[in-house]
Structure 1
Amino acid sequence: MPQKSTVSWNSLIGAFSRSGRPMESLVLFWTMNLEGVRPNSVTFMAAIEACTSMEEISHGRFVHAVVLSCEGEASVGVMNALINMYGKHSRVSEARKTFASICKSHRDVISWNSMIAAYARNGRLQEAKDTFHKMAMDGVLPNEVTFLALLSALGHSGDVKRGWSFFISMHHDYGLVWGIDHLVCTVDLFGRAGLIEQAERIVLSSSFARSPVPWMALLSACKSSRNPGTIEKSGTVARTALELNTAKSSPYVLVSNAFLDDLSYFPGARTLPYQPPPPAAPLVKTHLG
């Protein structure tokens, strides 16, 4: 092309970024700047997406610096993308500073979700919950993504009471529809706490009872639980998962591993002591002729 416009550059940068070729996307971003073509919000969003998928955070910091140097291009969408990038790279303090730099009146639900997810992803559960409450105080209504971030974080904390409270509040207080991901997170939360029976009742009472996905999550919870009777429950859950999706071998693998992890389930099963192999017979040298 004899004359490349911002739109031309954006199309190419975005294409490489979405195709899993982040370094090439950033090389184009730098070349665009060197050729004097002014980037816009679309350019920055594509470049930040590329930086998010890279291990090194220095590229992201460079793009952030360019964003700040381009007056008028630091849109809420760009800042939200930066918060998400810093959160995924475990740079929570930088994510928080970026969030704080957004004018209060301009913060949207994605801004809050990105900050909550950054805390949750890095195990800072209390700060994630505090941010959720501040979001409500600022009059911003949460959406399905907000609760997914919270439930995902709570799954690793073992806080069953708080997780169940969020799960119920999502529908009854905010009128949001539970998705299969919310259900899986809740099943995982109960399963990690060893509450297999309760997790099964949640699956059965949901609109996803005929989907194999929550049953696979429940089967995984059975495997990680050490409660008595869980091994037998694994068989029942695996049977249901197989009936709903016979094409997959995953249920067989999970239930097999569960049984192998607890050989005491099999009557008379014993762990055999290690016996070294017999020594090799000495070599006999023969002389022919």
Structure 2
Amino acid sequence: MRSVGVIGLGLIGGSFARAATAAGATVVGADSCAQTRRAALEAGVVRAAYDSPSAVCGADDIFIAVPVGSVESIFADIADALSPTSVIFDGGSCKRSVISKAAEQLGDNRRRFVPSHPIAGNENSGFSASNVDLFKNCWAVLCTDGVDEEAVQVVSLAWQQVGANTVNMSAAEHDDIFAVVSHLPHLLSYALVESIRTRPDSARYLHYAASGFRDFTRVASSHPIMWRDICLANADNLLASLVRFREELDTLEGAIKDGNSVLLYERFASARQLRRDWAATLED
């Protein structure tokens, strides 16, 4: 691997730094948290750690792993420090908003910015949650429209060398898909937990919560800043997904009110089959 500068040493950035170092790259990092910088240095994950994002721009490749609401300020900080050969890529869960900010801030370097999104992670956050194997056998989506072909090849190889498989997708398709399979489930999980928290007797309900509640609400432990930014950055697709979900809830509510056992069974059986079919693909 070439030398890599990682901006943001949390779960995604820290895991990429660990995997890139293990693959033989020279990695330097930037993070606003002194404790995180110290931990990354002590773990041997980075050769150097800085508080300024522009300080890592001497690396061949720059990976930006911050909440999508913070990407614009990172672009603005590094724009003047980038060399004409710098390759920049990110790991955000929304792509259209990031591409728009890159066009505004990066100038001529925009063509060497490769929007990407590793489909990996969990509900934990911070450098302490980072894992050298986080990207093994996951998909990394690349949005390559208008991007320099050599930069695409560099970023594709970088993801492959940390264990990911790459796939190309338009930014519009990406944001539509992940509004449904990622952003909406997080929103629903947060909503359920919050609806219990606001009850005056919430502790009584949680006392009897077990594995079903735990499984459904696992992602409500995710970082609130990251998911606030995602919801706002992909608002149109998320709102459309909410409309469709409400329609299904209305159907189920009507079936319960009417005592329509046939409709409830049909809906549950078809959902069960789809969930089982999908889970089987994960085991292959």
TM-score normalised by L of structure 2: 0.28
More strand by share: 2
Which structure has more RCO (C-alpha within 8 Å, separation ≥ 6)?
A: 2
Larger of the two Rg values belongs to structure: 1
TM-score normalised by L of structure 1: 0.28
More helix by share: 1
